[in-house]
Amino acid sequence: MKLFVVLLAAVALCAGEEIPQIPGDNSHYVEGVSRYIWMPDGDEVPQLVDLHETADESVLNERNGALNAYWLFTRRNPTAQQVIRHNDLNSLRNSNYNGARPLMVIVHGWSNNGHTGMNALIRDAYLAVTDANVIVVDWRNHANSPYNIAVRAVPSVGQFLGDFLTWVFNNAGGNWNNVHLVGFSLGAHVVGNAGRRVGGRASRITGLDPAGPQWGGNSNALRGSDGQYVEAIHTDGRALGIMDPIGNANFYPNGGRNRQPGCGNNSCSHGRANYLFASSIRTNHFNGRQCANLNQAQNNQCTGANLRMGNSILNKRGNGIFGLTTGANWPF
């Protein structure tokens, strides 16, 4: 790791930008300007990412989303996944999938996989309140690539996910009005692309602190037309997360930026969106107030109409920018 930082430092000096030396400290970072940012890996260890690094596109191909793995959890198998393989009807028919039940899909972010804690956190919350099909998407083959490669894999990963869901519905039943797609960080943009692939029919899409670096103005980013209702929960805006109000409803708890209450760094603030969402599924106690503009949200000055942040209500609808304050510890 030390050699890696030294080499990057040499490159940075040649490029006229000083490399950040303190792992995890992104106080230098300016969205759309800075070359370097510290990002947490699956073990929450800060990794230095060069956002100007040329992506080796040879590791990608048009079928990169075909490497997705789909793990089904239900109340009959709440912790032991059943693997459903796209186009393998036996894997679908022999599973506990029930087309009459709601379907929730969870997608992890960069340098994560299906075993990363946020999946179980949200899965368990959902199964505690709803008899549902929960599918965790494991796209580790590209999520564990260098960040610039993972960014470029997102559209295909999402498109293959959309095709998989269509196949499931065609062969085992389902209703798009009972579908909730949830993604964290890069996963938020994955579920956006999945929703787009199926014509915006999913009832709900929730982006948990959608990834920011390389996503401002990116046509593949999550957007409000990707589902019937698209919600974004921003907790580390202008750093690891995007600050732009990209959904129909955009929530900015505690100003939407680092540091979130109880957090000491961007990694904690970024991941806080997962915990707030899981808590909202179980308790539905986060009351957002509509803001006149983003500046009001950043400064916790919103006093408009109420809209609950998160929760598991499939027919939830709303539009606008919303601010709220939370606590520092579970259930926040």
Q: Are 159 and 193 in contact (CB under 8 A)?
A: yes
Q: Count the Cβ atoms, other than its own, within 10 Å of residue 295.
A: 10
pLDDT for res 17 = 75
DSSP string, 178-226: GEEEEEETHHHHHHHHHHHHTTT--SEEEEES-B-TTTTT-TTS--GGG
The CATH number for 300's domain is 3.40.50.1820
Chain segment 19-47, per-residue pLDDT in tens: 999 999 999 999 989 999 999 988 889 99
Query: Is residue 101 situated within a structural domain?
Result: yes
Q: Are residues 307 and 263 in the same domain?
A: yes
What's the pTM? 0.94
Which residues face 46 on adjacent strands? 40
In a domain, 255, yes or no: yes
CA distance 290 to 307: 8
**Residue 232 falls within a domain, yes or no?**
yes
Q: Is 146 part of a structural domain of the chain?
A: yes
- Supply the pLDDT for residue 42: 83
Same domain assignment for residues 163 and 273: yes
Contact 324, 287 (CB under 8 A): yes
Task: Confirm whether 33 is domain-assigned.
Answer: yes
> pLDDT value at position 63?
62
- Whether the Cβ atoms of residue 145 and residue 59 lie closer than 8 Å to each other: yes
Q: How many CA atoms lie within 13 A of 114 on its CB side?
A: 19
Tell me which residues of the chain have a pLDDT lower than 70. Answer: 1-16, 61-63
- DSSP SS3 for 292: coil
In degrees, rounded to 5, the angle at the alpha carbon of residue 72 between the alpha carbons of residues 70 and 78 is: 145
Same domain, 101 and 38: no
Q: Are 266 and 243 in contact (CB under 8 A)?
A: no
Reported as type and span, the H/E element at residue 117 is helix 117-129
Residues 292 and 188 in one domain: yes
Predicted pLDDT of residue 64: 83
Tokens of 7: 């080499």
In total, how many domains does the chain have?
Answer: 2
* 330 lies in some domain: no
Residues with active-site annotation:
185, 209, 270
Clarify whether residues 186 and 230 are in a common domain.
yes
265 within a domain of the structure (yes/no): yes
For residue 206, the number of C-alpha atoms closer than 13 Å in the C-beta half-sphere is 27
Residue range of the domain that includes 269: 65-324
Q: Could you tell me if 37 and 119 lie in one domain?
A: no
Residue reference for tokens 């103005």 = 217
User: Do 22 and 99 fall into the same domain?
Assistant: no
Does 89 lie in the same domain as 40? no
Q: Are residues 127 and 7 in the same domain?
A: no
Is the domain of 72 the same as that of 37? no
Shared-domain flag, residues 136 and 74: yes
Task: Provide the pairing of β-strand 306-308 with 204-208.
Answer: unpaired
User: 298 CB contacts (<8 Å, ≥6 apart)?
Assistant: 252, 255, 256, 257
Residue 62: per-residue pLDDT: 57
Asked whether residue 60 is domain-assigned, the answer is no
Query: Do residues 77 and 147 both lie within one domain?
Result: yes
